[in-house]
Structure 1
Amino acid sequence: MSGYGCKVCRILDEYGMERYEKQLLQQWQADQSQRKGYRQLADWFNTLMLRREMDRAGLSTLGDEAESKYERLQSEKAIAEEVATELSNAGVPTEQLRKDFVSYGVIRTHLKDCLDSDVELSSGEWEREAIEISQDHATTKIEEAIRSLQNKEKLSAGSEITVSVNVELECENCHTRVPADRAIRREYVCDCDD
């Protein structure tokens, strides 16, 4: 990766996507209600790469076609391989594209190190960021464990398995439980002290 600050820098150059860097940064620095987290930005970025390659191959990208294909490429192995083969047969360089897909950690590195973007974070942002990073890390580890169990045939499902990690806060006094992001947004867990 010599000559590039990180994987995102290389991909922006090699895929001719430089103009999307500003949009990436804007989505990261948007108001709290509109701001996308690292995982959402990675999914957006990867879907954008896939959409461009599908367009080049002459495939339809109307509606959510690229998003749907990307989600299926990230799903269980059989479905992912079926979609990869379909895309490859249509002229999309799927194998290289999958190698070039970025993780949320790579997006984070690009935003923080290459773009030095967290100077724009407002008061209270580091706490939200810490929760999001922890959720993303836990989700990734659980997904790896689930895939391993599926590969060992110790876990099965009728369809693909989706992992969801939610952080909830609970008041020990009244036992009200709310999602952490909602509590932080409204600035309270409960009103039992009122």
Structure 2
Amino acid sequence: MERYEEQLLEQWQADGPQRKGYRQLAEWFNTLMLRREMDRAGLSTLGDEAESKYERLRSDEAVAEEVASELANAGVPIERLRSDFVSYGVIRTHLKECLSADVDLSSGDWERDAIEISTDHATTKIEAAVRSLRNKGRLSAGGDVSVSVTAELECENCHARVPVDRAIRREYVCRCDD
């Protein structure tokens, strides 16, 4: 990770829309590692080939295993690589604790990052619980199960409910005070 610290910092501390959050940085870093291993194995990484493979490695189990098998057969050490993939928490810890870096939060982006981190954390925990329930035979489904977490805001006056991302985008929860 040390080889890419400067790039991580630049992307994390960029202004406005160029700024990447921890999750985006983790995806960028993991794709970078996958691209490096694909190059070493002589696989094409032109265009968005590495990004596409990384995305499919993170999709439903059947697709992920098919891609992993394809990569392994081509000489990519996929199991080692998968264990080396980092989470957004590792990126956050590395930036804040290892590099003692900080970012100017006056722009208001920290709130979106906090919401994204919380939603990602909830999704990860629910996925683990659902996987455990399925393994125990206490939850069944015809195929793979995906988890979607949406935080909602509710006005205590009119009880209007709206997803938090929509409320932030339109800059209000409701118009009952208008």
- TM-score w.r.t. structure 1 length? 0.76
Which of 176, 189, 194 does residue 160 from structure 2 map onto? 176
1:89 equivalent in structure 2: 73
State the shift of 1:124 in Å.
4.3
State the shift of 1:105 in Å.
0.9
* Structure 2 unaligned residues grouped into runs of 5+: none
- Structure 1, residues 130-179: CA drift from partner, whole Å, max 9, x if none? 32322121011011122223434532244x43322121212233333333
2:58 equivalent in structure 1: 74
Q: Is the contact made by 1:29 and 1:121 (CA closer than 8 Å) also made in structure 2? A: no
2:6 equivalent in structure 1: 22
State the shift of 1:113 in Å.
1.1
1:132 equivalent in structure 2: 116
Q: Which moved more, 1:89-98 or 1:128-137?
A: 128-137
Matching residue's letter, 2:97: D
Secondary structure class of the residue paired with 1:122: helix
- TM-score w.r.t. structure 2 length? 0.82
Secondary structure class of the residue paired with 2:162: strand
- Structure 1, residues 64-102: CA drift from partner, whole Å, max 9, x if none? 322222223223444333322211110111121111100
Identity across aligned pairs (percent)?
77
Q: Would you say 1:190 and 2:148 are equivalent positions? A: no
Measure the CA separation in 2 of the matches of 1:63 and 1:162. 28
Which of 28, 47, 55 does residue 31 from structure 2 map onto? 47
State the shift of 1:182 in Å.
4.1
Q: Is the contact made by 2:12 and 2:103 (CA closer than 8 Å) also made in structure 1? A: no
2:150 equivalent in structure 1: 166
Which of 68, 74, 85 does residue 101 from structure 1 map onto? 85
Q: Would you say 1:120 and 2:72 are equivalent positions? A: no
Q: Would you say 1:62 and 2:46 are equivalent positions? A: yes
* Structure 1 unaligned residues grouped into runs of 5+: 1-11
How many matched pairs?
177
Give the RMSD, CA atoms, in angstroms: 2.5
Measure the CA separation in 2 of the matches of 1:186 and 1:32. 18
Q: Is the contact made by 1:146 and 1:155 (CA closer than 8 Å) also made in structure 2? A: no
State the shift of 1:59 in Å.
1.0
Matching residue's letter, 2:167: A
